Amino acid sequence: MEEQNIGGAAPQAEEPRKTAVQTPAPGGTRVWLKLIAGLYLVSLVAAFALIAKADAVKKTRAKEMDISKLSALTKAKKDAVGVVEIYGAISQGSSSRSWERGSQQIARKIAEVAAEKEVKAVVLDINTPGGSVGAVQEIYSVIRRAKLETKKPFIARFGEVSASGGYYVASACDLIVAQPGTITGSIGVIFSVANFEGLMKKVGFKSEAIKSGKFKDIGSPTREMTPEERRLLQGMIDDSYAQFVAAVAEGRKMPEDKVKLLADGRIYTGRQGLENGLVDKLGDLQDALDAAGEMGGIGKKPRIVRETAPFEQFLSLMDSRLQPFGTKAMADALGATPSLEYRWDGR
């Protein structure tokens, strides 16, 4: 017998149990996003900082390079080779006229140019047959002194003629550059005396000298030279010749015996001079300037500093060209001023 549900109520079905799922809170997601954004921002800032620093370093280096180049350019522009011209016969004297070329003027110019800080080497542009012994030796001495005091190289450049006293001066230099056809050499001494005694007798002119000693009028053009006077003058010649030979031997680093073989008064071309050790190099003025630049440590094609203005240079050249017709030349021709000379008489 089935049981009856008392009260007539229908039975209730049992509901199934549900499992709860946990979801993250919205606030945690925002924290992570902020953290990632912060790290990204920091990395961007660091990257920009590195780029800015690299750019600054690059600009600094470029600036330093520009300054270095400018400094080098300024230095190269400032450094120079000094040029001093020795034109015409060399004689003692110091005139106030800038175009005249007495030995004291030339010596002073050499000393002044060599003393300039911007000058790293000195070129002597020589075109002379020589001159009086004292005047030549004055220039020679100032070159030796300037080299000793400044430690700067001296280069001699020979033009059409650099003979006798011109070569004496050049022997003090560190390098000699000559043209193949330059006339050089004539290493020796001369004392020229004229004798007008016969002419004076023809015109009825007589000269008498009242003197304190028998040699006081030695070299007089009004009478014949005695054998004893000739021996005295030859002694002077020999002593001056020995000084010339010693200067060449020292300057060319050559034994005196070898110098004497070359120093019998003969002249040489520049090429013959090179073959005999009297010249170091064949070339023109630019070759001499390039050699001076290299020896002075500033390279070829150096900036040039001249000791005269162009107008003075022109007057100096004219003076040297006209000198054979000047009063000194006339006096020498007449025998009025005999002197001991390192001079080539072929000009």
User: pLDDT tens digits for 94-130?
Assistant: 655 555 568 999 999 999 999 999 999 999 999 999 9
Whether the predicted model's global pTM rises above the 0.75 cut: no
**Cβ pair 303, 84 in contact under 8 A:** no
Q: Which residue has the higher pLDDT, 243 or 41?
A: 243
Selecting among 59, 216, 300, 301, the annotated active-site residue is: 216
Cα gap 173→299, rounded to integer Å: 19
pLDDT digits (tens, 9 = 90+) for 141-184: 999 999 999 999 999 999 999 999 999 999 999 999 999 999 99
Strands 183-185 and 119-128: unpaired
- What does pLDDT average to over the chain? 80
Tell me if residue 220 is catalytic: no
- pLDDT single digits (tens) 216-237: 888 788 788 889 989 998 999 9
Is-catalytic flag, 216?
yes
Q: Residue 264 has which token pair?
A: 């019998």
Catalytic position from the list 164, 171, 186, 220: 164
Q: What is the 3-state secondary structure (H, E, C) of 139-170?
A: HHHHHHHHHHHHCCCEEEEEEEEEECHHHHHH
| Domains and their CATH numbers in the chain | 74-343 (3.90.226.10)
What are 132's strand-pairing partners?
341
Pairing state of beta strands 130-132 and 340-343? antiparallel
Phi and psi at residue 90, in whole multiples of 5°?
-95, 125
Q: Summarize pLDDT for 302-328 with one digit per residue, the tens.
A: 999 986 655 555 555 555 454 444 434
Amino acid, res. 277? G
